[in-house]
Structure 1
Amino acid sequence: MEPTASSSDPKDSLANASPLTGEELVWRSRYGMLESHGYRLRQRYKPDWTPSWLKSKRPAPLHEDYPAHWNSEVIDAVRIADERRVFLKRVADDSSELRIHRFLSEKERLKDPWNHTAPLLDEFPEDDDPTMIYMVMPLLRPYDVPEFFSVEEVVDFMRQILEGIVFMHRSMVAHRDCSDLNIMMDADAMYPKGFHPKSGIMDSTGHRFAHPKHRRDIVPRVRYYFIDFGISSMFRPEDKERKVIGLEGQDTAVPELSLSRPYDPFLVDVFILGNLFKKMFIDKYDNVEFLRFLVEDMMQPSPLARCNSEEILKYFNDIIARQSPRFLRWRLKKKTYGRAERFFVDVDSISHEGVFLVKRVISSSTSSVVHFLQKRLRLDRKR
């Protein structure tokens, strides 16, 4: 029997406490088993846990072990061998989700730079029920937290996501739910002091606010990933009929979804991503209007009028190639901004452009000096 939410522990009823939820009690019961497999849950789930704020002057929410969790199938953890933060997901061993994730995480496929599947780092069966498997993936963040800052950040996101869906479709996998909650990012480089897995605005200590860098200032760039293949479909090369039925998924606006009439799931992916781009960018910012026609093509009501993912990616790259680098470096302008806010955005963008040009001149000059010295050294050696 699984633990219940009720508890006789007096600590759980303290006025200033954050008692364990029913789902957390389940994870507490798994703490030792997971540790034996090399994964450690946060302090909050240790069987002998005592809330740290009971002996602290700081407010309870400003403690690492305060934030609660409400899911008994997924949770963050640490890989003991190297202290890497990871994400655990419990699935059935015969699930299509596990089969598809294994397929997309095969060694050769992971070498493809267009593979934006959250990599499957490890898997192991549950001790008490071997029919349940724990999938281990990197700990990721929602792709839009923090918000996008510049046009080039939006462009980079869209390019990665379109390349990722093209890779999946070439592999004959249709995601079918590639919307808001199933796109994440590896943001470790944005957070030099880390981030709390349950309180995204705090650093890893849980009692200081995190101060992330902008995506455009990170080298290499932030990488985005697809997760959750729970309703995805995978086909074989010999499958002539690559259609499905079903109403599942976050995006209920897809016009062809049906329980009785088969539809093309690959074109559904195109519509879903188009709708995501529309809601997140086209409807929100003024200076990404140049992408509107692309998004409208992705959201054609008739699937037969929709381009496939490869055609959409080519169209996207053609559009971006016509934009000036300076325009792409500009800060995003929200449609809700007034005149003063727009003026501030322009001033800030001009300042950033000046800094960018100065850095480029310095970098170019440094490279020229290094090249000259290397050439002079070679001549001296010949003498």
Structure 2
Amino acid sequence: MPGTIRPGELWWCKHYQWLKDAGYLLRPRYSPEWVPSWQGTKKVWMECEDSRGPRVQHILDATRTFDGVFVTLKLMNKSRHPYEIEIGQLFSAEPLASDPANHCVPIYDVLQVPEDQDQAIIVMPLLRPFTKPRFDTYGEVVECLHQLFVGLQFIHKQHVAHRDCMDLNIMMDATHLFIDPYHPQNLLMRRDYKGEARCLTRTQCPPKYFFIDFGISRRYDANNVAPLEAPIWGGDRSVPEFQKSNKPRNPFPTDVYYLGNIVRNEFLLVMLISDGFVHVQTQDGFDFMEPLVKDMVQTDPAKRPTMDEVVARFDQILKQLSSWKLRSRVVDKEDGNITGLYRGVTHWTRRIGYIIRRLPAIPTP
């Protein structure tokens, strides 16, 4: 039946009480006493909060009972990802946890599944994709890129290669960005499903961005400055050095490619469909990033800059950007003439307000 529990959710149903005893409350959908709220009524199931299951079956939202904080629970197999907990806890412990350059998702707790010693649950903050909601100004994008560049530089300084820092593994803490708590499985809706979730702009309430998922990450000895690893496919399958050879590679330049490719695909390129064909062209407005990104995604890994060099070059780029540019509106790839005009007018209204209130053009958390 539509909206009812799917096979992949049964694990969470069976462990509802155990998680509750451990201090984490799942939504009513997973309670043993759950009865669908639309059952026996004229409600449409898809318009009910409790009809929403997880997008990914091994990741679910919950509420931490002692303080009401929304969290994410990730069910993982230690034998498959033997270093994920270790590396995650490294970044979540002092002194690294307090380092302002640390943009690794913090681990609040690790729960050992009682009946299976190979399974554990990692408890993390509730995050959402870093591009949703949309960016309003170039200054907001610049701050996002700054956090990501500094964050990957920080990871590399701890001799850790992420090895899968693609777009789905970059998220943000939007807790304070939203006026209404958003639903974890339908990001457009309020958590109570009584309308769309309202939000501020990133200039008004700057979020913090995080790298997540250290499942295939590795940490190396400090003396091993150029480790070699057999290619391992993450979410981005376009890595040039993996295309024609299984030759062991240094994973650090590959990380640089991953991050550069995110910037290229998200901000520099736009795909247009015309005559039944997909056309890729350069998007206006982000030309100031093109030289750096071009170097980050070079085919030859040896020619890519290190993250230290990326951060240094990005700092120089920022010095050349005017306040006018930073406060200008980012034109969405899908804006039409009428939509673009409306957003342009509302943007200028906000922009004047930001200047009067002395909100910085590059908003920092």
Shared fold per TM-score greater than 0.5: yes
Q: Offset of 1:36 from its aligned partner?
A: 1.5
Which of 188, 191, 209 is the matching residue for 1:224?
209
Q: What is the DSSP-based 3-state SS (H/G/I as helix, E as strand, rest coil) of the residue aligned with 1:271?
A: helix
Cα distance in 2 for residues equivalent to 1:152 and 1:240: 35
Cα distance in 1 for residues equivalent to 2:4 and 2:51: 9
Larger radius of gyration: 1
Q: What is the DSSP-based 3-state SS (H/G/I as helix, E as strand, rest coil) of the residue aligned with 1:133?
A: strand
Report the equivalent of 2:237.
252
Q: Does 1:100 align with 2:68?
A: no
Q: Greater relative contact order (Cα 8 A, min sep 6): structure 1 or 2?
A: 2
Report the equivalent of 2:273.
none
What are the Cα deviations for residues 9-38 of structure 1, in whole angstroms up to 9, with x where unaligned?
A: xxxx4xxx4110001111101111111111
What does residue range 1-383 of structure 1 map to in structure 2 within 5 Å?
A: 13=1, 17-54=2-39, 56-69=41-54, 71-93=56-78, 95-218=82-205, 221-239=206-224, 241-257=226-242, 260-284=246-270, 285-334=283-332, 346-360=344-358
- What letter is aligned with 1:77? A
Cα distance in 1 for residues equivalent to 2:133 and 2:41: 30
Cα distance in 2 for residues equivalent to 1:160 and 1:140: 16
- What letter is aligned with 1:64? E
Q: CA RMSD in A?
A: 2.1
Q: Offset of 1:336 from its aligned partner?
A: 5.8
Q: Offset of 1:293 from its aligned partner?
A: 1.1
Runs of 4+ in 1 over 6 A off after TM superposition: none
Q: What is the DSSP-based 3-state SS (H/G/I as helix, E as strand, rest coil) of the residue aligned with 1:51?
A: coil
Q: Kindly tell me: are residues 335 and 147 of structure 1, through their superposed partners in 2, closer, same or farther at Cα, counting changes over 3 Å?
A: closer
- What letter is aligned with 2:253? L
- Given the two structures, how large is their TM-score scaled by the length of structure 1? 0.84
Cα distance in 1 for residues equivalent to 2:230 and 2:74: 26
Q: Across the two proteins, how many residue pairs are aligned to each other?
A: 344
Q: Offset of 1:353 from its aligned partner?
A: 3.4
Report percent identity of matched pairs: 33
Q: Offset of 1:335 from its aligned partner?
A: 5.5
Cα distance in 1 for residues equivalent to 2:225 and 2:203: 43
Conservation of the 8 A alpha-carbon contact between 1:331 and 1:349:
yes
Q: Offset of 1:174 from its aligned partner?
A: 0.7
Cα distance in 2 for residues equivalent to 1:345 and 1:262: 49
Q: Kindly tell me: are residues 146 and 56 of structure 1, through their superposed partners in 2, closer, same or farther at Cα, counting changes over 3 Å?
A: farther
Q: Offset of 1:272 from its aligned partner?
A: 0.8
Q: Offset of 1:327 from its aligned partner?
A: 1.2
Q: Kindly tell me: are residues 257 and 209 of structure 1, through their superposed partners in 2, closer, same or farther at Cα, counting changes over 3 Å?
A: same
- What letter is aligned with 1:230? G
Q: What is the DSSP-based 3-state SS (H/G/I as helix, E as strand, rest coil) of the residue aligned with 2:171?
A: strand
Q: Offset of 1:72 from its aligned partner?
A: 4.0
Cα distance in 2 for residues equivalent to 1:204 and 1:344: 28
Conservation of the 8 A alpha-carbon contact between 2:55 and 2:185:
no
Q: Offset of 1:89 from its aligned partner?
A: 1.2
Cα distance in 2 for residues equivalent to 1:303 and 1:80: 47
- What letter is aligned with 1:148? F
Structure ranking higher in helix proportion: 1
Q: Offset of 1:91 from its aligned partner?
A: 2.3
Report the equivalent of 2:277.
none
Q: Kindly tell me: are residues 211 and 235 of structure 1, through their superposed partners in 2, closer, same or farther at Cα, counting changes over 3 Å?
A: same
Conservation of the 8 A alpha-carbon contact between 1:97 and 1:228:
yes
